[in-house]
Structure 1
């Protein structure tokens, strides 16, 4: 059996990953039912590695509840489709999982079962491996004060963080049972990376004094041994469980952005990036801001990812986010086109992955922007039930309250988003939402400060500049208002008051003041 990035050859059969099919020696398709093909594709992308039964079930049957018999039947279909070559190539490890063998011998790798991984019984480290994208192990945080009374709290932080990081799109997280085998041992991140076949190690320490709590964390690249990110969290000591939830959420949200950036940088160096490499590069573009250029670049990455892997759920959700962002930012004269495209795509995603938090959240955003505010808020609530760390869902609920004419309620939702993720890449949007709420209830001076904070976080969002200009004009600062309007036009030269007025998504009469403010600030009418 031989493999490349695009295909795996087994005897006279070719697993064609680029064109999504099993082919015979003549290039003709060998029939396989969709679920069996999905199993074979997963095994082929991890050729030479043991893939646990639980992980296969979670990946292939994520949209329904089935017994292990379905997996056994799919494996039988694969063996029949592979023919004589299946016996040496497709290995069954009883009670553990399955493996496609590379060069007629397996690679010694961690045994994967869902998000739990146990160390291989082989004495030697992997001879050759392709580390999974965004793969990470959370090592047990240390207790520098050696206070035994704090051990349960520190272990709780480690366990909760392991669970929460597994919710990051495209992540592969080593299970806590394996991670805790390293507790109290000297740490060599590069060796751990080789042993567990992961790209990143998260390590840290927790100290708690009489009235203060401090957590230090470092993210290490296991291939180079270099630090990707490090930070310190200081908080007044409070209720331990509440504090644990908040710290873990903040860490998980911060690491989400850092890991995406790290994976995108890694992908930039690859001559032939795969679908997930392209996905991470697209996500990194989205994080830069909402401009026509950044959105076009991100869309290109996601479309290329979907061309390589049409079943890539994360790329499909992210592509829909591009349409939501373009429509929400008034980047086109008819945003209904973008909203309709996003809604169609998100319904398709949820048909296959009904518990995808971001898909529910983005569907909620579309509904809010198309005068279905209550339904949209409910969708964001569903997203939070599926992922309590999804701070952006709180942000969208705040926007929904503004669009429903309940501007006085916006700030409390944004404060909750900031509690969960104070350094989020999308805080600039959340600050703008509060500014809109303040402006709608006549608190113009407060609105000015919220819009100013939005722009200080990220200048690559034209709508924030135009709203800032509006608020400044309404408080009488026309000079700065006109400068803010010009800054917005530098980001989106096509913006006009007519576009904003004709596509308004709010019935609040106070919104008429927005048009007046934009006019005073010098935003073009046409």
Structure 2
């Protein structure tokens, strides 16, 4: 049953800008009244005009900062760049120990709107991004970066996946590269950041049919595959707008991997004659350029939209399994695996077959992951998956105990990720096995 929206709740998609003064408590403790006066002057002369010029609104002041809302990510970033530059100019003569500098975080999210405040996970991420920004800097989420790339007078460096306080999953973040010495240090920092786990770009598929009228179908496969892969939990998939900048270019996959900071690239071609459609696809590890997997699909031509859905579904499922296997192999060679490495190894063991040995091995990996990161939702859910699968296939003698353990850990996981579909599926199976399904 579809849950009805509570009466009076307004929601909308917004670009959220969170800002605060770095070291505000120290500044107020040292020189309270001058600090307060400088802060108010910077808001009036730099921040408020920039936000108004770019059609944003100050939602609320937070004592040492503020929260603003925009209808456009581009406008939010332009406003932040503008007031950060002006604040730097206005405070250039101040001593280091008394200079006021703002940190800014920007995210896109679906927010709950009230007259004098906004709420939601999107707001929380903006606030956490602000907390990792440097004084005078701007830190944006990957979703913001995809919208503003090439559209604002600023460059951003990929600083990788960030584990933010009270945010369940890592957030890919980008930091503004500033002038002077900061540029070298930030770009150097970028070069040292390893590509995230499960990061992939779907390059535009090539139309080999010699018929430009088929471009729409080829592009549709590329776009739909990008969308389906991005729905995989824990994946980082480069947006279609960025991926399509490589259309028609000779692909140096190692260079593309470095430019986009991704581990894998998926490329392919589609060829259609009168009666058949052929799809060639390959998954490449960008660091080495080695082919991890390749396949070819031949289908009789039928309804193109139905065929597109079928091709994308088959590709997404297969690529998902191949990426898990590739990440598991990489983790085997990692001297100090983290929780995510161990989860991928566990999932690979889980995928190897419904045998007692593979499921036992998978559970050991998930237990090790929870030892490193006790609150990891994915490790909890996959450990429950092992128990549920062992019970469903009668590979365990302690069925009631395993089901009880699975239910306990699933309820804990759902308290942190209440919309996790796989967790709900597993919990439903537990309820069916214990005759409590309604």
Q: Which runs of 5+ in 2 are unaligned?
A: 1-22, 24-103, 112-117, 146-154, 163-169, 178-182
Map 1:454-473 to 2 at 5 A. Answer: none
Aligned to 1:15: none
Matched with 2:345 is 281
Question: Are the counterparts in 1 of residues 340 and 369 from structure 2 also a CA contact under 8 Å?
Answer: yes
- Which of 109, 113, 123 is the matching residue for 2:158? 109
Task: Give the alignment of 1:304-323 within 5 angstroms.
Answer: 304-323=368-387
Q: Is the 8 A contact 2:107 2:140 kept in 1?
A: no
Most deviating of 191-200 and 323-332: 323-332
Q: Residues 157 and 320 of structure 1: is their aligned pair in 2 closer, same or farther, counting only changes over 3 Å?
A: same
The CA deviation at 1:364 is: 2.2
Change (3 A) 1:303 1:94: closer
- Greater share of residues in helix: 1
1:232 and 2:281 correspond: no
- Counterpart of 2:204 (choices 132, 135, 140) is 140
In structure 2, the CA distance between the partners of 1:176 and 1:112, relative to structure 1 (3 Å rule), is farther
In structure 2, the CA distance between the partners of 1:65 and 1:341, relative to structure 1 (3 Å rule), is farther
SS of residue in 2 equivalent to 1:53: strand
Mapped to 2, the partners of 1:315 and 1:371 lie a distance apart of: 26
Per-residue CA deviation, residues 274-318 of structure 1 (Å, 9 max, x unaligned), is 111000000111112233322221111111112222232211110
Q: Is the 8 A contact 2:129 2:140 kept in 1?
A: no
Pair 1:248-2:312 in alignment = yes
- The 3-state SS of whatever aligns with 1:354 is coil
Q: Equivalents in 2 of 1:331, 1:144: separation in Å?
A: 49
Task: Answer whether contact 1:108 1:127 (CA < 8 A) is retained.
Answer: no
Q: How many residues align?
A: 304
Cα 1:69/1:129, change in 2 over 3 Å: closer
User: What SS does the corresponding residue of 2:158 show, helix, strand or coil?
Assistant: coil
**Mapping of 1:68-467 within 5 angstroms?**
69-71=123-125, 73-74=127-128, 78=131, 87=134, 91-93=137-139, 108-109=157-158, 126-372=190-436, 375=438
Q: CA deviation at 1:145?
A: 2.0
Choose from 45, 49, 66 the match for 2:120.
Answer: 66
Normalized per residue, which structure has more strand? 2
State the Cα RMSD in Å. 3.6
CA 1:73/1:231 → structure 2, altered by over 3 Å: closer, same or farther? closer
- TM-score by structure 1 length? 0.52
CA distance change for structure 1 residues 205 and 305 in 2, over 3 Å: closer, same or farther?
A: same
**TM-score, scaled relative to structure 2:** 0.62
